[in-house]
């Protein structure tokens, strides 16, 4: 997708959000009508107004449109993103250590690193440091199986 | 004296030393910035004693500002954007075999910059905070607007003024989610229990400032290769060049002043100081070919920013730059709202924090003189190892504060959405500032409207309010005029 198209879509979304935000303030109850609702309307008008100005400027812009290089290597980018979501999903039932022990080497390999000794030592080092500093020293409560 | 005694306690010294060394290491790793480090570690300090936690973070800030210069000088790979100016002269010196001298000049200049800015912070912050005692709700609202106006003044070719303003207001809109403080009713929670308390700024901070960098590194089309040839070259041991002190003083002053100005960061401070030094030296210095004067001015400039940026942050709640914004988050999660209270009610925490910056500067001076050439090798750590390790800490940090996996999803969402915004030229600093300052602005606005019996005239009545409007306009007008000039030129 080109940079201008994505920007214009986003700005149109911002204007839509500003309109919805403004309309929603009608439902504010009691004292909020005289206080918070006015504040939110101020934000909605500012946001919508700025969005409209920027959209007009963008439509008037005659400069050559460029392709938006958002992800570079999409496989690695989305691989890391998927890994993070999987990490978060596993966090509650399995805690930090088991998902991290899988996540770190998998992402390292995904990003093109192939030295198993360095990967293994890095993973073990991070887990040991987290256990020592955060669990033992700072008493941070981590969910799931404790060690 | 009691405050100095707190700083000199063994636990405090250990926290400062760990923070500073960690900061130097993080600063020396290309791709990792002081903002990322402070943002990542703020949640972990939550369970610590507030004073120790803040000292740890202050040490990281000071250490990272210096650490960036080590790979800049020895590998031509600035660890942080603020060290780019240092690389211009420092690497040229390394190629001539004068890397050891460049490192020595760099660490002494950083020490001097950090020290002078910490003295300014100690002397002027309490004076400024006293003025803030006269602030009512209307002034508090204007203060939040002033903070946002300050940040949007960084708008340049990449982040246009309107886009920076849009990002700031978007942050304020996100901050509206949750329970309405006036009526107690829920707003925009869509039935989600996790949103009742609103969106915490910590997952956003980690997502926008830390995780986003990991996503960028992971998605990079071409891995950057680092030239390590100068690292091995024999390095002569030379005495400090004569007259270098005035370049350090120039950089320290420039860095401190630039740091105090809202929205101006260490990178600008370093380049400004470098350019001033170039003018001061004239034709006699070998600028561009390895001038120690350039290294001295640039390094004193970026470390001078540390204390300078904390002046408006601690006194008015206006972060001088993105690291100061992350530090402000740390103060807030420890229940210390920036403003006069920091120098009265919380003086037993604030002053030790300020004094700890002096120790942090001494720590990196020792580290820099003794082990800097070895630390440069940190820059050679492959990104493929660094990315998953930092990402794991980002997940842990997002979870740790509220012990909520929802915050981890928020962090990932902010990182992904933030990357799109960044690529389209929106200011992420303004977004996070909107998120932090939004609730303060809303509280001030709502209370002001009640006191003013529904009339917005209250925001223009007091003399302080009038002065604040002038400052807000002063902050917004120059970038607006520059924007209009650019448009007319097109």
Is residue B232 one of the residues assigned to a domain? no
- Distance (Å) from the C-alpha of residue A147 to the closest C-alpha of chain B? 16
Q: Is residue B230 part of a domain?
A: no
| Chain A neighbors of B188, CB-CB under 8 A | 24
> For residue B409, is it within any domain?
yes
Model confidence pLDDT, tens digit, residues B286-332: 788 889 999 999 999 999 999 999 998 888 887 767 888 889 888 98
Give the pLDDT confidence score for residue A135 in this predicted structure. 78
Contact A101, A127 (CB under 8 A): yes
In a domain, B349, yes or no: yes
Interface residue of A66, A87, A89, A133 to substitute, partner B, most B CBs within 10 Å: A87
Percent of chain B past pLDDT 70, that is, above it, reads 92
- pLDDT value, residue B170: 95
Cα separation of A35 and A29, whole Å?
Answer: 10
Residue B53 lies in a domain: yes
pLDDT at B99 over 70: yes
Residue B273: φ, ψ to 5°: -60, -40
pLDDT, average across residues A80-91: 93
- Residue B459, chain A, CB below 8 Å: the answer is no
The answer to whether the Cβ–Cβ distance between A111 and B384 falls below 8 Å is yes
Residue A130 and residue B221: Cβ atoms within 8 Å?
Answer: no
Residue B231, domain member (yes or no): no
For residue A79, the model assigns a pLDDT of 94
Higher pLDDT, A66 or A87: A87
- The per-residue pLDDT for A86 is 95
CB spacing of A38 vs B449 below 8 angstroms: yes
CA gap B187, B377 in Å, rounded: 51
* B169 contacts A43? CB cut-off 8 A: yes
pLDDT band at B8 (very low <50, low <70, confident <90, very high): very high
Q: What is the pLDDT of residue B115?
A: 95
Give Cα B160 to chain centroid, integer Å.
21
Do the Cβ atoms of B299 and B251 come closer than 8 Å?
yes
Per the structure, the count of domains in chain B is 1
Q: Which of A28, A40, A73 sits opposite B183 (nearest CB)?
A: A28
Residue B120 confidence (pLDDT) above 90: yes
Three-class secondary structure assignment of B251-319: HHHHHHHHHHCCCCCHHHHHHHHHHHHHHHHHHHCCCCCCCHHHHHHHHHHHHHHHHHHHHHHHHHCCC
Q: Quick one: pLDDT at residue B177? A: 95
pLDDT greater than 90 at residue A16:
yes
Looking at the partner chain, which of B163, B215, B441 has a beta carbon nearest the beta carbon of A54?
B163
Average pLDDT, chain B: 86
pLDDT in tens, B435-456: 888 888 898 899 999 998 888 8
Q: What is the sign, positive or negative, of the torsion defined by CA atoms of B32, B37, B39, B40?
A: positive
What mean pLDDT do residues B259-269 have?
76
Mean pLDDT of B7-30: 91
Interface test with A, best of B157, B214, B219 (most A CBs within 10 A): B219
* pLDDT(B10) > 90: yes
CB contact under 8 A, B403 and A143: yes
Tell me which range, B137-141, B156-160, B306-310, is most confidently predicted by mean pLDDT: B306-310
Task: Tell whether the model's pLDDT for residue B154 goes beyond 60.
Answer: no
B157 touches chain A (CB under 8 A): no
The mean pLDDT value for A118-126 works out to: 94
> How confident is residue B202, by pLDDT bands cut at 50, 70 and 90?
confident
Q: Are B405 and A91 in contact (CB under 8 A)?
A: yes
Gyration radius from chain B CA atoms = 22
Higher pLDDT, B226 or B58: B58
- CB neighbours of residue B460 within 10 Å: 12
Per the rule left: phi > 0, alpha: psi between -120 and 50, beta: everything else, B178 is left
Within 10 angstroms of residue B380's Cβ, the number of other Cβ atoms is 14
Evaluate if residue B155 carries a pLDDT over 60: no
User: Tell me, what's the pLDDT at A78?
Assistant: 93
Query: Is residue B475 a contact partner of residue B146, using CB atoms and an 8 Å limit?
Result: yes
Residue A138 predicted with pLDDT over 70: no
Closest Cα in chain B to A7: B424
Residue B351 lies in a domain: yes
Chain B residues in contact with A142 (beta carbon < 8 A): 396, 399
- Which of A72-76, B21-25, B112-116 holds the top average pLDDT? B112-116
In order, the DSSP letters of B366-397 are HHHHHHHHHHGGGGGS-HHHHHHHHHHHHHHH
Task: Say if residues B137 and B448 touch (Cβ distance below 8 Å).
Answer: yes
The CA distance from B265 to B82, in Å, is 8
Q: What's the token pair of residue A25?
A: 């303030």
Among A32, A44, A71, the residue with its CB nearest the CB of B219 is A71
Nearest-by-CA chain A residue for B385: A108
| Residue B334 structure tokens | 């420890």
- The phi and psi torsions of A2 (rounded to 5 degrees) equal -80, 160
Q: Give the domain range for residue B93.
A: 1-219+241-489
Task: Report the candidate in B300, B307, B256, B245 with the shortest Cα–Cα distance to residue B274.
Answer: B300
């Amino acid at each position: 997708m080109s940079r201008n198209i994505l920007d214009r879509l986003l700005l149109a979304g911002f204007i839509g959000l500003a309109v919805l935000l403004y309309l929603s303030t009608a439902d504010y109850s009691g004292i909020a009508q005289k206080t918070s609702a006015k504040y939110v309307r101020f934000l909605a008008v500012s946001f919508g107004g700025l969005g409209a100005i920027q959209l007009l400027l963008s439509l008037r812009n005659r400069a050559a449109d460029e392709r938006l290089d958002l992800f570079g290597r999409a496989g690695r980018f989305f691989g890391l993103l998927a890994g993070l979501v999987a990490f978060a999903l596993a966090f509650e039932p399995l805690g930090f250590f088991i998902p991290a022990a899988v996540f770190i080497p998998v992402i390292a390999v995904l990003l093109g690193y192939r030295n198993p000794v360095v990967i293994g030592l890095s993973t073990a080092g991070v887990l040991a440091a987290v256990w020592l500093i955060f669990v033992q020293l700072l008493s941070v409560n981590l969910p799931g199986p404790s060690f | 004296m009691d405050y100095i005694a707190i700083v000199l306690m063994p636990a405090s010294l250990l926290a400062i030393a760990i923070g500073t060394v960690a900061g130097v290491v993080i600063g020396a790793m290309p791709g990792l910035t002081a903002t990322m480090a402070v943002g990542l570690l703020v949640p972990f300090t939550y369970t610590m004693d507030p004073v120790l936690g803040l000292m740890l973070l202050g040490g990281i800030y000071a250490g990272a500002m210096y650490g960036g210069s080590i790979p800049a000088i020895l590998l031509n790979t600035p660890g942080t954007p603020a060290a780019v100016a240092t690389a211009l002269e420092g690497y040229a010196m390394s190629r001539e075999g004068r890397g050891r001298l460049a490192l020595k000049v760099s660490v002494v200049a950083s020490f001097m910059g950090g020290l002078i800015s910490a003295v300014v912070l100690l002397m002027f912050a309490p004076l400024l905070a006293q003025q803030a005692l006269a602030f009512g709700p209307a002034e508090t609202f204007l203060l939040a607007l002033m903070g946002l106006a300050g940040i949007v003044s960084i708008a340049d070719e990449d982040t246009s003024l309107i886009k920076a303003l849009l990002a700031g207001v978007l942050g304020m809109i996100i901050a509206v989610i949750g329970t309405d403080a006036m009526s107690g009713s829920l707003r925009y929670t869509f039935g989600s229990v996790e949103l009742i308390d609103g969106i915490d700024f910590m997952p956003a901070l980690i997502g926008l400032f830390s995780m986003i960098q990991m996503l960028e590194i992971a998605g990079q089309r071409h891995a950057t290769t680092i030239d390590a040839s100068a690292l091995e070259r024999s390095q002569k041991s030379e005495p400090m060049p004569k007259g270098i002190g005035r370049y350090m003083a120039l950089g320290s002053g420039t860095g401190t002043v630039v740091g105090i100005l809202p929205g101006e960061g260490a990178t600008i401070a370093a380049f400004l100081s470098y350019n001033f030094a170039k003018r001061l030296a004239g034709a006699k210095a070998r600028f561009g070919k390895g001038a120690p004067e350039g290294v001295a001015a640039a390094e004193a400039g970026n470390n001078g920013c540390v204390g300078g940026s904390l002046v408006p942050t601690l006194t008015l709640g206006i972060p001088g730059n993105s690291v100061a914004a992350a530090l402000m988050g740390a103060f807030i999660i420890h229940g210390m709202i920036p403003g006069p209270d920091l120098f009265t009610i919380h003086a037993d925490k604030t002053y030790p924090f300020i004094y700890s910056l002096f120790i942090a500067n001494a720590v990196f001076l020792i580290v820099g003189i003794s082990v800097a050439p070895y630390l440069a090798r940190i820059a050679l750590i492959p990104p493929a190892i660094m990315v998953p390790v930092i990402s794991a800490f980002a997940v842990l940090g997002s979870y740790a504060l509220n012990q909520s996996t929802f915050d981890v999803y928020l962090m990932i969402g902010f990182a992904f959405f933030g990357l799109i915004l960044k690529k389209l030229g929106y200011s992420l600093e303004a977004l996070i500032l909107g998120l932090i300052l939004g609730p303060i602005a809303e509280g001030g606005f709502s209370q002001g409207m009640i006191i003013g019996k529904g009339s917005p005239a209250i925001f223009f009545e007091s003399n302080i309010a009038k002065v604040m409007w002038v400052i807000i306009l002063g902050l917004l007008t120059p970038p607006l005029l520059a924007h209009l000039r650019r448009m007319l030129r097109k």
